[in-house]
């Protein structure tokens, strides 16, 4: 199975175009106002029309129903990514309410953090493993911090649903990350930016070239 890639935090027509041209399999739109990548439902509706075959992933952090409804009224999404402290019950309720598959982010610093995974059986359709950054590292956000965790923690582990490797990836380290972790999907945000929130089309192309060469 070819390695697949999600490019997260896209916020202009130019960078969506770069991701689609580069063969991105999924595109992430951030609906979390404290993030420098956050966009409005109207912007997502507009740039989301040019995503081609790529899966449109809407990224939320502990959203209430009103925010979910507001975004989904304005923008067409194919998947919901929950990157906050959403419980399995809340994740299941969001999947039922929206009728969309739910990807739950699990933040990892050490082996003990995988203990949270089993509770999402039947509540989340996908998992995304991201770093739980040490204090003072990253951008102080729940995700999108450009911080990696020890990929060896994933080696040999199996889950009964698809999962993505995320956290601090870039064109230079993605091959090693996949070799060590066994990931079939990778996800990147900071590693294709020239500054927080400013996606770089050349870095997007370079990352996707690296992914598609594996
Ligand atoms: O990207 C953000 O700004 C963000 C803000 C709040 C919660 C999650 C966020 N991003 C989630 C993603 O899926 C990122 O792609 C993932 O955390 C990896 O980010 P990075 O380490 O910067 O590649």
The predicted-structure confidence for 12-51, as pLDDT tens digits, reads as follows 999 999 999 999 999 999 999 999 999 999 999 999 999 9
Outline where DSSP puts E strands in the chain: 4-8, 26-30, 55-60, 79-82, 102-108, 126-131, 163-166, 185-188, 193-195, 198-199
pLDDT at residue 71, rounded to an integer: 97
pLDDT at residue 139, rounded to an integer: 75
pLDDT at residue 202, rounded to an integer: 98
Q: Does the pLDDT of residue 137 top 80, yes or no?
A: no
The atom number, within ligand 1, closest to the CA of 197 reads: 3
What share of the chain has pLDDT > 70, as a percent? 100
Instruction: Return mean pLDDT, the chain.
Output: 96
- The verdict on the CB of residue 186 being under 6 Å from ligand 1 is no
CA distance 73 to 19: 25
Q: Does the pLDDT of residue 116 top 80, yes or no?
A: yes
pLDDT at residue 138, rounded to an integer: 72
- The verdict on the CB of residue 141 being under 6 Å from ligand 1 is yes
Dihedrals phi, psi of 103, to nearest 5 degrees: -110, 120
**Dist. CA 184 → ligand 1 center (Å):** 18
Q: Does the pLDDT of residue 1 top 90, yes or no?
A: no
List pLDDT tens digits, range 179-205.
999 999 999 999 999 999 999 999 999
Q: Which of 199, 209, 214 is nearest to 11 (CA)?
A: 199
Q: Which position has the token pair 């399999």? A: 25
**Dist. CA 176 → ligand 1 center (Å):** 20
**Does 8 qualify as catalytic in the annotation?**
yes
CATH architecture of 4-212: Alpha-Beta Barrel (3.20)
- The verdict on the CB of residue 138 being under 6 Å from ligand 1 is no
**Dist. CA 121 → ligand 1 center (Å):** 23
**Does 187 qualify as catalytic in the annotation?**
no
- In order of 22, 32, 48, 51, 167, the CA distances from 140 in angstroms are 30, 13, 27, 29, 14
- The verdict on the CB of residue 142 being under 6 Å from ligand 1 is yes
pLDDT at residue 140, rounded to an integer: 77
């Amino acid at each position: 199975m070819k390695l697949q890639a999600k490019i997260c935090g896209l916020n202009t027509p130019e960078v969506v175009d770069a991701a689609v041209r580069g063969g991105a399999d999924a595109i992430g739109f951030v609906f979390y106002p404290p993030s420098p990548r956050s966009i409005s439902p109207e912007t997502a509706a507009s740039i989301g029309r040019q995503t081609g075959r790529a899966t449109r992933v809407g990224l939320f952090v502990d959203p209430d129903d009103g925010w979910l409804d507001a975004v989904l009224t304005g923008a067409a999404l194919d998947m919901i990514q929950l990157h906050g402290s959403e419980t399995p019950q809340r994740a299941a309720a969001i999947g039922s309410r929206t009728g969309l598959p739910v990807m739950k982010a699990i933040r990892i610093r050490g082996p003990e953090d995988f203990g949270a995974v089993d509770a999402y059986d039947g509540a989340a359709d996908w998992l995304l493993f991201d770093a739980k950054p040490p204090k003072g590292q990253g951008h102080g956000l729940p995700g999108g911090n450009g911080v990696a965790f020890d990929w060896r923690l994933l080696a040999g582990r199996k889950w009964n649903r698809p999962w993505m490797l995320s956290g601090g990836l870039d064109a230079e380290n993605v091959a090693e990350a996949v070799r060590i972790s066994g990931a079939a999907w990778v996800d990147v945000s900071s590693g294709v930016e020239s500054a927080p929130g400013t996606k770089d089309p050349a870095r997007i192309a370079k990352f996707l070239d690296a992914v598609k060469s594996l």
